[in-house]
Amino acid sequence: MSLKAILEVALHSESFRNVDLFHQGLYHLRFSVSTGSVPNKINAHPYMIVTTSIPKVKKSQKQDPHHVIPACKDEASQTISSSAFLIRYCEEEVELNEIACFRIEIDDKIEQEKGEIRIEAELMFSELEGEVTVEKAYEMAAQNLLDFKMVTKSTLVVYSPLEGVHEYFPLVFNENYFSIVNLMAHVALLDFRYRVVPLNSLANKTWKVKQVYNSFAEFLFRDSRGKPKTFVGAEETDKVYREYVEKILNSFEKLKATFVMIAGKCLTNKEKLSFSQLCSLPRLGFPNICGPLRKNYLDSLNDSALGYIEENEEHPELSLSSISGIDDERQNTSYRFSERVASHDPCKIANLLLSDINLMAGSLFQLWHRLLELIKLVPRPLNTLLQEISEEKIKHQLTESIIRVVHRTKDFSIAHEENIGELHEQLASQKRSDKKYQKRIVMPIEEETPSQSIDIRPIVFEDICIREKNSILNSIQPVSSSTDESIENDNSISYRLSKLYKGVHLIVLVHGFQGNHFDMRLMKNNIALIHPEALFLCSNSNEESTEGDIGEMGVRLAQEVMNFISEWCPNRSLGRLSFIGHSMGGLIIRAALPYLEQFSSKMHMYMSLSSPHLGYMYNSSKIIDAGMWFLKKWRKSKCLQQLSTSENPNLRSCFLYELSTKKGLGWFKHITLVSSYQDQYAPYDSARMELSVKTGNEPERAEIYEEMVRNLLSGMNVEALCRLDINFRMPEKSLDTLIGRAAHIQFLENQTLMKMIIYRYPDLFS
């Protein structure tokens, strides 16, 4: 026998958005909730589906493509499935507004860190025979011909559920079925119940039962040897009472505060008047132990949510000491539970405790269902509100792994520290071994993935170079610390100068050597999750010719961009034009810019991901040198000749030097150069557009190299140049790590890094 905490779990699927699904057809979501692990896994009971307003079907449509099959619960599998919806188009959004309600019992004595619950979300898919139409979907559903299969799933962990959780979570499915569910999870403790362990559970050898108690009193009161007590003192009586009643009070407090926040921020003034009865909160049923103090407190506690919102911005703290009237200084025993029970009999104490808990649980139950009714009225405003709160938390969590340095300089080409790459490696190693850093910020809800471990997260060194002559930024103090506090309240220096714009923001993503447009798919999809209003072009015009002339690739890219703008941004609807290039893609973009001068006023952001802007004049990897020699010799790779400045004995006539003199970078409002000291495929200084310390005994090449750097940087008109140096947690033994390729491909595969960049610099992508 044991005491169980009764948790209510409401999973509100506000909407589903297709970001990059591969297949047309019918989809639905399937949810289950559980706690513990095999063999002691306990599944939650699915008991209700709450449907909010369903969009009306357009007159031109006879049937709703997004609600082909209604939501349902399955008692056998203990799951709840959303409505089945038809997906036919890119970026198609489905308004679901369905709340899956579960009830689960967890052991109240379980350790806090082990008390999490898990939400398993599965994406189910069924193909349609022949043409994918609404009529075909309804026809196959009516004939029971649909064969739904789970194509991908995501497991979420809810931490500290007993404390109450009301959070937005962007439920993202994997890259093969890249899509997002705007999910809101509400978890609340509603009651305690004393359960007898079933006999069949005792017979099951896999069920671990430490001890069986014959009564609730025996469960609560035992001596040091584990034997039941026959006499319980007043102090112990009050201690046990506080332990359980305070949890109920805290749950009511959080639930009420959440209700007040939603009603105050999501209801319009007209709606507040129309739904005044809904906003009249239920009174907290509380045992008669507090006299005048209880009356005064509950009078303020049980006011209408509307009046409360208008007069109070914050809810007063609710604690057992204030409710029960226990004053630590005066020890006013007249209001103590032990005096009310007036007995030392464990059974009488336990029975009255359960009676008090049940009384308060009734109020909690009413408030919980009142909250569900409120959620039905404001699904979209609530999603927006909780999403904004969630994104701020995510941003704060991700900045744990960012080290920021701001410095003023007259010369962007000179690093602010000698051997800065080696210094960053040392700092990254120190940060990862720091115990404070290892204790990462835990979100209330997280996806159960290896990325939860902070040890494998990349560490980002953010170097902001500000032109010394800039008077606009004089109020900003230089920061040269390795602490996270330096980034909490300041996004990025130059981004403060961003202006509002009208029109579409087109972001062009360009792959590198021997790549294709799928290389940039993950980056595009992750940006689209946060900025769905943006338009994307993953360039494919050079997929078959990446070993050719970089200049010719630039011409093809420019033509591809112009054709795309003509088709997708007609009538001057283009508002912003941004570019992101990986590896050689960063140079292909620069080669295309002179042909896109007609859009110079629209240029917004240029970002290169480990692009060798200055070629391989000072490459430190003999393995890379050998590989380039082979490709130039046997594959006749023109671009590698250009990158190694070996196509012309006159270095000033080489392609890279001539490209450094071309216009284009000066049109961008934001320039971000992303590099990694671990990446041997793109020399560190070359990717950062900095003067190299490895010039050696070749004064002519050193002079040409410096001229190229200054040509590039002098053409920039940005007030602040952002350089990001990424330190990845790499596997110690792998071929890719040995040859320096692992870090190079991490820019295309590490979604944690992508999220860090996207959340950290919202103005780049908005």
The mean per-residue pLDDT over the stretch 608-629 comes to 75
Residues facing residue 32 across a β-bridge: 120
pLDDT score of 390 more than 90: yes
Mean pLDDT (the chain) is 82
Q: Which range, 257-271, 442-456, 685-699, 735-749, has the best average confidence (pLDDT)?
A: 257-271
What confidence tier does 55 reach under pLDDT thresholds 50, 70, 90? Answer: low
Rounded to whole angstroms, the Cα distance separating 509 from 517 reads 8
- What was the pLDDT predicted at 735? 58
| Secondary structure, 3-state, 692-750 | CCCCCCCHHHHHHHHHHHHHHHHCCCCCEEEEEEEECCCCCCCHHHHHCCHHHHHHHHC
> What pLDDT is stored for residue 181 in this prediction?
96
| Residue ranges of domains in the chain, CATH in brackets | 2-195 (2.60.40.150), 213-377 (no CATH), 400-475+486-494+501-615+667-765 (3.40.50)
CA distances from 518 to 51, 226, 544, 548, 672 (A): 38, 63, 13, 20, 22
Which is more confidently placed, 76 or 299?
76
| Per-residue pLDDT, 316 | 41
pLDDT digits (tens, 9 = 90+) for 175-222: 789 999 999 999 999 998 877 654 434 444 444 555 666 777 777 887
Report the 10 Å Cβ neighbour count for 473: 18
Task: Provide φ and ψ at 209, rounded to 5°.
Answer: -120, 115
Q: Could you read off the pLDDT of 99-116 as tens digits, one per residue?
A: 999 999 887 665 444 578
Neighbour-count burial for 421-443, b at 16+ CB within 10 Å, e otherwise = beebbeebeebbeeeebeeeeeb
Task: Report residue 275 as tokens.
Answer: 């739904």
| Contact present, 643 and 612 (Cβ < 8 Å) | yes
How many CB atoms sit inside 10 A of residue 331's CB? 8
Residue 469's pLDDT is 65
User: pLDDT digits over 456-508, tens only?
Assistant: 789 999 999 998 764 434 333 333 334 343 433 444 444 444 456 778 999 99
What percentage of the chain has pLDDT greater than the value 70?
79
The residues, any chain, with a CB within 8 Å of residue 479's CB and separated by 6 or more, are 404, 405, 406, 486
Is the Cβ–Cβ distance between 267 and 275 less than 8 Å? Answer: yes
Report how far residue 234's alpha carbon sits from residue 326's, in angstroms, rounded to the nearest whole number: 14
Concatenating the DSSP letter of every residue in 324-351 gives: H---TTT--GGG-HHHHHT---HHHHHH
**CA atoms 447, 448, 449, 451: torsion sign:** positive
Q: Which of 132, 44, 154, 56 shows the shortest CA–CA distance to 97?
A: 56
For tokens 């297709």, what's the residue? Answer: 18
